[in-house]
Structure 1
Amino acid sequence: METDPKSPAKSTSPSNQNDDSRDDKLSLPFAFGLAAFMSSKPIAALTKVASFLYSLLKKRPRCPYTLYALVMALVDSAAVLFLQWSMYKEPTYADPDAIDTTTKLLNSVSGQLTKFVSQMWMEQKYIWLLNFLALGMVYLVLVFVLNRFWVATAIFSIVTSVFAVANSIKVDLRNEPIIPSDLGFFSSGNGGEIMSFIPKNSRPLVNGTITMLIWLTIICLALQLIDGRRCVISFHWRRPFRNVKTIIGNCTRIIAAALSIFLLWSFTWNLGVNDSWSYNWAKSLGDNPALWSTAYDATNNGPAMNFLRLAHAKIMDKPENYNEATMAALAKRYKKSAKATNESRANNLTDNTVIMILSESFSDPTRVPGVELTEDPMPNIRAIKDITTSGLMLSPAIGGGTANIEHQALTGLSLALFDDSMQSPYQELVPHQKEPYTFNQIWNSKYGKNGSVAFHPYYKDMYLRDSNYKKFKFGKLYTLDSSPAITHQDHIDNSLYVSDKAAYQNVLDALNNSDHSQFIQLVTMQNHAPYDDYYANNQFREADVSRLADDEKWAIDSYIKGINLTDQATEDFLNQLNSMDKPITVIFYGDHLPGIYTTAAANTNNAIALHETDYFIWSNQVSASAGIKLDQQTSNYTSSNYFMALAAEYMNAKISPYLEMLTQTQTQIPAISRLVSSNNSWGDGSATYLDANGNRIKRKDLSQKAKQLLDDYRLVQYDMTKGKGYLNDYDFFAVQ
C-alpha cells in the first residue's frame, strides 16, 4: 500500500509511544490530586459557604422595617452615650482612701453616664431622650436622602464617633466641647494638620475608634449587599412614571427626604429662639440653656444639643437701604464730622494707658427699692464719682449676661440692635467672625501685639473668652488656667473667687512691666454669685435694717460686704495709679445687679432701677484729663457700648468716624439696651431707650435726628457683623 507523500505519516516509533504514555502517567496523578484537593474538608466547607453566599445574593432576602427601627434605636442610643461620655473625666482625689466606694462610683464616668440616663425617671428630666431624638433627626435625614439604610448607618456612626472622640480631646485640652465655628478649621484648609493636635495619651482612643469604624463599615456594606431591600423606599430614576407603584414610591421617597430635612432644619433654626416651637419643646424635656459656658451646657444638656443650639443664630435683619453706595456715603459723612471734631481735640487715645474694668456685679445697693442701710458700703467710689465723669449704666440683664455687656464695651455694638434671638454674641457671633473690630486694636495699631492685654481671674473657657480674645487681637489673656497663669490669685477669707485687690495687682504688674501705653482689659470675679457667709466680721448684718425675709437679707448682706471690699480695693488701686509717672485713664463699671433682690424684682415698676449699675471714668494726676467732669446731660446715663466714645470725649482725644457716630448717637440717645425681663439673665427683651434724665422713651417719640442716627447705627452694626464689611475700605475705624 502506497503512502501519500503530502499527508503526514503517523509515527509508530518507540520514542513516540513513550512520550504518549509519559503524558498519560503525568496527567492521571494531577487529576487524582486535584480531585482529592477539591474533596478535602476545608475546601468543601469553603465551597459550601460560597454556594450559600451566592444563593443569598441571588435571593437577597429583604430586611424588615422593624429590624431597621431596632438598629436605628440601638445605634442612636450608643451615639448619645458616646457623645455624653466625651464630656466626662474620671475624678481625682487628694486622698482616695478618704472617699467611700459609693461616692467614687457615682462620680466615675460610668456613674455620671448612669445618672444622665436615669434622671429621666429619678428627676423627670428627659435630656437623654431629647438628645436621642435630636440625633435621630440627623439619622433620618441620612436614611431618607441616601435611601440606603446600611450606608446611612455607617455614615451616621462614623460622624458621631469622630465627633465624640474629637470632643473628648478638645475637652481634655481646653475644657470646651466642639462647636459649629470649629468646622471652619477644616474649611480653611487646615484639616490636614488635625493629627498634630492629638495628644499622645489620646492616640489609643483614636486608633481604637478607627479600627472599630473600619469593621463597622465593612459589616454595614456587607449587609447592604445582602439586604434584598436595596432601597429603604422603592425609587426609580429611570422611567419614573412607568406604573402607579413606581410613581407612589418615588413621591414617597421625595416627601420623606424633604420632611426629614425640614424637620431638622426647623428644629436647629429655632432652637436658640425664645418661645419658638423647638425651644419650648426642648425646655419641656428638661433642656436648660447655659449660654455662659459651652462646657457646662454640653455636660448638662448634651453635646448634640449644645452644638445644634449654636449652629444658627440670627444676627440682624438686613436694613432695606444697605448697599455699598449707602455705606460709602455714610462713611464720608462721619469722616467729615470726625475731622471737624478732631480740630478742637489736642490729644490721642494712645497717649494714655486705658484700663477698662468690668467689676463683677458691682452696683450701689442703696439704690435698690426696699434696701435700707445705716452704713454706706461704697463711700470711696461715691466720692470718686463726685469728682470725675460718672453716672449710671443701663444694663441688659440682672444676675448674669456679663459677656454681653463686655462685648458692647469692647466693640461699641449694641445688643438692642441685634435680633432678639441673639442671646450671647460671644458664643453665637464672634466665633463666626473672621476679624471682629474692638477698641483695643487702636493701641495695637501703634504698639503691635503688646498694645493690649487682658486679665480675668477665672477660667478662660467661660464665654469662649480664650478664642474670642485672640480674635480681638489681645496680646495675651491671663486667667487661672492660662499659660502662664494669672500671677495674683489671693482670696479673702472663705470667698470662692480671687479678690479684687489681687486682680488689681495683676494690672499694676502689667503697668510696671511696660514702657509704653496700653489698653488693659480686666474682668473681676470677687462679687460673683453665690452670696454666702464668706467674709469674717460682716458689719452689714447689723447695718441692714431692710424689712425683708431673712433668706433674702442674708444673701444681700453677704453681697454688700463684697461691695464694701471692692470699694476699699478700688480706692487703693487708684491711689497707686496716681503715684505713677505715666498718664492712665480708668473706665470702671459694674456689669449688672445680682439676682438676689427678689422682693424688688417682683414689682415691675422697679425694672429700670434694677438694670442700672454704677460707672466712672477717671484719670491719674499726670494725665491731661485729670479731674475732668463731663456735662451731666452727657454722662448721667449711658450704656456700655458708649464707654469708649465717652472716654475719648473725657480725654479730649481725637476719634475715628466710628467713634464720632457713637458720640453723636449717645448725645441723642444717652442709653440704649435690650432689657431682659426683671431678675433674668437671658431671654427676649425689648429695646429700651433712656433720655438724659434717665426716663424711658419710646422709639416713636425719639427726635428725627435721633431716629436718623439710630438708622445709621443699625447700618454700621450690620456691616460690621453680617454685612460685607464695606466700611473697612473707607478707613471708618481709623482716627482722622
Structure 2
Amino acid sequence: MKNFKSKVVIILLFIAVGVLDILKNGNGFLQLFLAALSSIVVFYIPLLEFKLKKIPYIVLLFTNIAVFAVTYASYRVLLINMLFLSYLIWYKITPRLLHYKSFLPITFLISFISVYTASFLNFSVPLFLFVFYPIYVSGFITHLHNMVKTKKVWGFVIFNALLSGFALVVIIYKILEKSILGNILFLNFEKLGTVTAVYLPFIALLFAWFAVSVNLLLYLPVQKFVKSKASFELTAYTKPVYNFIMFLSVVSLSTFICELSIRQNLLSTLHDILEPNLLFNILLLASIYLFLISLIGKGISNIIIALLTIFLAIANYIKFTYFEEPFYPWDIYLIKNLIGISKNYLNIPILISVLISLAVIIFMVIRFRKAVGRYLKPRISLIFIPFAAILFLLNVNVLTHSSLSTQIGIQKSWYIGRSEILANGMLAQNYFYLDDLDKYLHPKPKDYSQDKILAVDKKYEMPESQAVSTGTSKTVEKPNVVVIMSESYWDLTKLSGIKFSKDIAENVHKYQKGELAPPAIGGGTANTEFEALTGMSMYFMSPGIITYNAYLRTETPSIATVFKNNGYSTTAIHPNSGWFYNRDKVYPYFGFDKFIDVTGFNMTTETKGPHISDDALVNKILNVLDSSEEPSFIFAVSMENHDPFNDKYSDGEFDVSIESDQLDESQKEIVKGYAQGIYDADQSLGKLIDALGKSDKPTLLYFFGDHAPRLGTLDDYYKIYDKLAVENKSETEQKLGELKYYTTPLVTWSNYTETRSFSKIISPSHISYEVLKDAGVKYPNYFNILTQLEAEYPVMHLKGTDLVNPDDELIQDYQLIQYDLLFGKKYLKDIKATN
C-alpha cells in the first residue's frame, strides 16, 4: 500500500469522516460507523510519511489547537480537527517511545485509565487522543516493518479479529438501552455518570483491540513482502496480545467464578456478569491484579488470584448452601468447623476426585519443576504501578461515595447478607466488610464507664418485696434444672398437605408453652445457645458472627455461672465433637463444671442414623441427675436430628411414614427422614418427662428447637414452607414477616410447680431469665432487664430490625450490659447477686 493511490484513499477517508461528523445527527450507530472509519484512517495515517519542518509543524499544531479551543468553547469538538491534532502529537512522540518493550500494552492501559478517569470529571474531556492512540501505534509498528504472510500470521490476525469482535458485540448489545453508544467517538461525552464510567473503558479497550485486528486483516492481502533485515516479527504483537487476553481472562473468570458461587445458577451469572455492578467488580479486581503483577510478576500473581478465587468460591458456596448467608472475613474462625460439617456431606466419589486432583498437581509440579520455577520467578514491573494505583483509587472513590456507587446498584447497607452481596458483587461487598471491620469488632460505646454500668445495674435491681420467686419458696430443696436444645426441632405438623402415620409431636403439643424466634435458620446452633445461656442477644452482633468462635475467649457470665454460684453442679452435654464451635473452651468460660461430648457415648450402641440418638441423650441426662449429690443444672444439645435428612436412616430404623401429593419424591425422602428425627426427639422428651415425674427430686425442664430445618436446598425449603405452611396467628399479630421461617416450639414442664405459658413469640434470650426465676436462685440484677424487654420487644432479631427502636433507653441499657460482659471490663461480673 505504500504508493500514491493508497495515500489518496487515506486522505479521502480523512475528509469523509470529518464531513460525516459535521453532518451527523447524533445517532449512536452513526457514531460507531464514524469510529470504525476513523480507526482505518488512524491505522494507515503513518503511511503518509509527512516530512514536516519545524516551522510548518508548529503552525499546523497551533492552528489545530486554536480550532479545538473555539469549537470546545461552543461544546462541539470536530472529528477532523481531533484527527489532525492527534496525528501531529502522535507524529512527534511515537518514534521516541517505540524502543520501550512495554510501550504497546501501555498505550492500551493509557486508553483504559484515561477514559475511566475522565468519566468522573464534572466537565467533558475529548479522549480521542488517548483512545485511538493504541491503533496508531499498532499501525506505526506494522508499517515500519515488512510482514511475512505465513499461515501463523493469518491465523493470529483472524483469531484476534473474531475474538475482539465477539467481545465488542456482546458489550455493545449490553449497553444499547443505556444510551452510552453515543460516546464511542470519545469527542463529547454525553450523560456522564458511574454507569458510563464503568462501561466506556471496556468499550475503548475492546474497540481498539478490534480496530487493530481488523485493520491488520485488511492490510495482509495487499502487503508486498520485501526481503529485508527489518522484516516483521510476529512476537511484536503476539506477546502483548497474549498478556492482554490473559489479563482480561484472569480478572473476568475469577469474578465470574466468585459470583457463580453465590448465585449458584450458571444462566443467572452469565446474564449478570456484564451488569454495571459486576463489571465494576471486574475493575476492582483488575486494579489489585495489576498491583500484584507490578510487584511480583504474573506467575505468583496468578497463583494468588487463583487461590483467593477458590477459597472465596468454596467458602461462599458452603455458607449459602447451608446457612443462607455469604462468607464474612470473621468466618476465618470457623475454618476448623468446616471440616466437621463436611464429613456429613462428603462421599467416596468426591474424596477420590480430590485425591486424584491433588496427585496430578503434585506430579505436574515435580515433573515440570524447572518450568514451574521459571513461571513463578518474581519479575518487577514498576512502570505499571501508577496505572494500578490510579485504577484502585478511582474504584475506592466509587465505593466511598454513595452518590456514585448507587448509580450502578452498589450500596453499603447496615444489614449484610444474601441480598447485599448479590447486589454489590463479592469483591465490592468484601471491601465494605473490611472497611467496616472496626464495627464488627464492637468499638466501645461513648458512654461506657464503670459508673454508668453500676447505675444501669442499680436501675434494674428488683425491689425486695418482689424478689421472692416461685422456686425455693415452695420447696425446701433446690430443684434440678434441665434445659434441652433440640437439633433442628421445628413443628413439621404445621405444614398442610402431609399425612403422618403417627403423631410425631405428641408430647411437644401436650406440654408446649410458647414459641421462640431463634437468631438462625438451618444452622448456627451456637448462636441460639448463646442467647439462651447468657440472656444476651445476637441483635447487637454483626451478621454472620458465631459468638463462640469470634468473641468468647475469657470467662463470661451465663446462667451456668449463676447456678454454680448457687451451689449447683453444672453439666453441658452435646454428643458431637467437643471442639466444634469451640464448645470445649467456651463451656468452662460459661461456668460449666463438666462437658460430656461425643466421647462420652458409645458410637456402636447409642446411635440412630449417623449420630448419637436422642434416646441415648435422655439416658445420659438421667444418669447425671442420679449420680449427682448436689442439685444439678444440665444444658443438653441433641444431635440425632442434624441434617442432611435424606438417606439418613436405614429401612429398619423408620417408625414414621408420610404421604403427600404436594411433594416430589426427593422432597418426600427429605421430609420422611426429618419426620423420623422429630418423632424420636418427641418420644425421648416423653420418656424424660415420665422418668422425672416419678422422681421425688423437684425438677424444672425446658425444651426448644435451636432453629428451623434445612429441608433440601434453601430454595426448596422456602417453596415448601410458602406452599404448605398454615398461617400462625402469633406471627401475624407480632408482624414478624420473614421471621415466620424461624419460629420453633418451646416446652416448659415441672414435677412440682406450674410453669408459665408465653402469649407472644419470644427470643431465646428470655429463656435464661425464666429459668433463673423459676429455680428461685439468686442472680445478678442485669437479668431483670429481660422482663421489660419481653414486654416491649419480645423478639429482637437482625432480620426484624423494624421491631426494635435503637434509640430507646431500654435498648441502649441492654447494649451496654452486653458490651460490658462480652467486650468491656466485666464490671457486672464482679457485682454480687442480690435477686
TM-score by length of 2: 0.48
Pick the aligned partner of 2:545 from 422, 425, 430: 425
Cα contact 1:361–1:592 (8 A) shared by 2: yes
Could you tell me which residue of structure 2 aligns to residue 223 of structure 1? 379
Q: Structure 1's 464 and 280: CA in aligned 2 closer, same or farther, altered over 3 A?
A: farther
Could you tell me which residue of structure 1 aligns to residue 394 of structure 2? 259
Q: Percent identity, aligned pairs only? A: 21
Could you tell me which residue of structure 2 aligns to residue 273 of structure 1? 416
Mapped partners of 1:449, 1:343: distance in 2: 19
Could you tell me which residue of structure 1 aligns to residue 485 of structure 2? 358
Deviation at 1:540, TM superposition (A): 6.2
Mapped partners of 1:615, 1:729: distance in 2: 29
Cα contact 1:444–1:451 (8 A) shared by 2: yes
Deviations 1:336-388 (A, max 9, x none): 43776556688599955533211234345555567788975444444445xxx
Q: Structure 1's 654 and 613: CA in aligned 2 closer, same or farther, altered over 3 A?
A: same
Q: Structure 1's 152 and 581: CA in aligned 2 closer, same or farther, altered over 3 A?
A: farther
Mapped partners of 1:400, 1:233: distance in 2: 44
Pick the aligned partner of 1:140 from 247, 267, 287: 287
- Structure 2 residue 781 is the aligned partner of structure 1 residue 640: no
Deviation at 1:231, TM superposition (A): 2.9
Q: Structure 1's 392 and 550: CA in aligned 2 closer, same or farther, altered over 3 A?
A: same
Mapped partners of 2:602, 2:522: distance in 1: 26
Cα contact 2:489–2:705 (8 A) shared by 1: yes
Could you tell me which residue of structure 1 aligns to residue 753 of structure 2? 628
Mapped partners of 1:209, 1:662: distance in 2: 61
Pick the aligned partner of 1:393 from 496, 516, 534: 516
- Structure 2 residue 791 is the aligned partner of structure 1 residue 671: no
Q: How does 1:120-519 map to 2 (within 5 A)?
A: 137=284, 140-141=287-288, 143-144=290-291, 149-151=294-296, 180-181=329-330, 223-224=379-380, 230-233=382-385, 255-261=390-396, 273-274=416-417, 278-282=421-425, 314=440, 325-334=451-460, 336-337=461-462, 342=467, 347=472, 353-365=480-492, 376-384=503-511, 390-395=513-518, 402-415=525-538, 417-418=539-540, 422-426=542-546, 430-435=549-554, 437=556, 439=558, 441-442=560-561, 451-457=570-576, 461=580, 490-492=606-608, 495=609, 497-511=611-625, 516=630, 517-519=632-634
Q: Structure 1's 178 and 501: CA in aligned 2 closer, same or farther, altered over 3 A?
A: same
Cα contact 1:436–1:471 (8 A) shared by 2: yes
Pick the aligned partner of 2:781 from 654, 657, 662: 657
Deviations 1:433-485 (A, max 9, x none): 54373525506965999844330447964x67667657657667655xx6677
Mapped partners of 1:74, 1:548: distance in 2: 45
Which letter maps to 1:500?
A: D
- Number of equivalenced pairs: 539
- Structure 2 residue 833 is the aligned partner of structure 1 residue 714: no
Mapped partners of 1:279, 1:714: distance in 2: 30
Cα contact 2:641–2:674 (8 A) shared by 1: no
Deviation at 1:660, TM superposition (A): 1.8
Q: Structure 1's 161 and 564: CA in aligned 2 closer, same or farther, altered over 3 A?
A: closer
Could you tell me which residue of structure 2 aligns to residue 193 of structure 1? none
Mapped partners of 1:571, 1:432: distance in 2: 37
Q: Structure 1's 464 and 601: CA in aligned 2 closer, same or farther, altered over 3 A?
A: farther
More helix by share: 2
- Structure 2 residue 637 is the aligned partner of structure 1 residue 522: yes
Cα contact 1:456–1:477 (8 A) shared by 2: no
Cα contact 2:656–2:675 (8 A) shared by 1: no
Cα contact 1:654–1:735 (8 A) shared by 2: yes
Q: Structure 1's 489 and 280: CA in aligned 2 closer, same or farther, altered over 3 A?
A: farther
Higher RCO (CA-CA < 8 Å; seq separation 6+): 1
Cα contact 1:450–1:475 (8 A) shared by 2: yes
Q: Structure 1's 149 and 671: CA in aligned 2 closer, same or farther, altered over 3 A?
A: same
Q: Structure 1's 369 and 397: CA in aligned 2 closer, same or farther, altered over 3 A?
A: farther
Deviation at 1:649, TM superposition (A): 1.3
Mapped partners of 2:467, 2:501: distance in 1: 48
Mapped partners of 1:500, 1:655: distance in 2: 31
Deviation at 1:500, TM superposition (A): 1.4
Which letter maps to 1:728?
A: Y
| Aligned-pair Cα RMSD in Å | 6.5
Mapped partners of 2:435, 2:645: distance in 1: 27
Q: Structure 1's 132 and 499: CA in aligned 2 closer, same or farther, altered over 3 A?
A: farther
Mapped partners of 1:365, 1:612: distance in 2: 12
Mapped partners of 1:222, 1:637: distance in 2: 61
Q: Structure 1's 564 and 220: CA in aligned 2 closer, same or farther, altered over 3 A?
A: closer
Q: Structure 1's 131 and 730: CA in aligned 2 closer, same or farther, altered over 3 A?
A: same
Mapped partners of 1:664, 1:627: distance in 2: 27
Pick the aligned partner of 1:599 from 723, 726, 735: 723
Cα contact 2:483–2:635 (8 A) shared by 1: yes
Cα contact 2:516–2:764 (8 A) shared by 1: yes
Which letter maps to 1:273?
A: I
Deviations 1:614-649 (A, max 9, x none): 223334xxxxxx4222454x6775331111110111
Q: How does 1:65-104 map to 2 (within 5 A)?
A: 65=106, 66=240, 69=244
Cα contact 1:141–1:260 (8 A) shared by 2: no
User: Any idea what SS the aligned residue of 2:379 has?
Assistant: helix
TM-score by length of 1: 0.54
Deviation at 1:656, TM superposition (A): 0.9
Q: Structure 1's 124 and 345: CA in aligned 2 closer, same or farther, altered over 3 A?
A: closer
Unaligned runs of 5+ in 1: 1-58, 85-114, 171-176, 186-201, 235-251, 290-303, 620-625, 675-682, 690-698, 701-705
Cα contact 2:575–2:612 (8 A) shared by 1: no
Cα contact 1:455–1:478 (8 A) shared by 2: yes
Cα contact 2:483–2:702 (8 A) shared by 1: yes
Cα contact 2:700–2:748 (8 A) shared by 1: yes
